[in-house]
Structure 1
Amino acid sequence: MDRGTQHTATALIDAVRERTHAARLAEAAAFVAVGDWASAHTSEEVVGDPITALGEWHEESYAETLAGDHFLELGGPGAPVVAEFCIGEIAAARGCSFDAARRLVGDAIELRYRLPRVHARVAAGEVDVWRGRRIAQATRTLTFEGAGFVDRHVAYVAGEATGPEVDRLVAEAAARFDPETTEAERAEADGGRHLTIELGDVGYADALTGTLRGTVDVHGTLDLADALDLERTVAHVARQLVELGCGQDLDARRSIALGEIARRCDGVTTLDYATADESAESERRPVQRARREVVLFVHLDQAAITGTLNGFGPGIDACTGTTGIDLARLDTPGLPRGAVMAEQVQAWCASPDTTVTVKPIIDLNLDDAGNGYTPPDRIADHVRVRWPRCVFPYCTRSSRTADLDHCQAYEENGPPGQTSTANLFPLCRRHHRMKTHREMKTGKRWTYRPTHPDTGEPPNALIWTSPHGQTYLVDRDGTRPWPPPDEAPDQTHKT
Structure 2
Amino acid sequence: MTSTAPLVARLAEDEQHSATELVEVLHHCNAVRASADYRMIQAASLIHDEREQEYLARIAAGVGTGEATTLAELEQLAQRAAAGADPRAQYGPTGLDHAVAEVGAALTVAPARARELIEAGNVMRHHLPFTGATLASGRIDVARLLIAVRRVAFCSTETLHLIDTDLAEAIDTREPMSLTRFQAMVDKIIAQIDPSALQRRRERVDADRNVSLRPDRHTPGQSRISGALPAEKAAAVDARLTSMAASVHPGDPRTLEQRRADALVALAEGITTLACRCEACTTHQADAELDTPAESGAPAPVPETEPTADLEAESDTDTGESAIAEDTPAPVPDTTPRPTFHIVVNLSTLLGHDNDPAMLDGHGVIDADTARQLLSEARRTYVRTDLSTSPQAIARYAPSKKVADLVRAGELCCSFPGCNNRVWHTDLDHSVPHGDGGPTHPRNLKPLCRFHHRLKTFGIGWRDYQDPMGTVFFQSPTGHTYLGNAFTGRDLFTSLTTTAHPPDHPARQRIDTLRADRTAAARRADKRATDRWNKDNPPPF
* TM-score, scaled relative to structure 2: 0.31
More strand by share: 1
More helix by share: 2
Larger Rg: 2
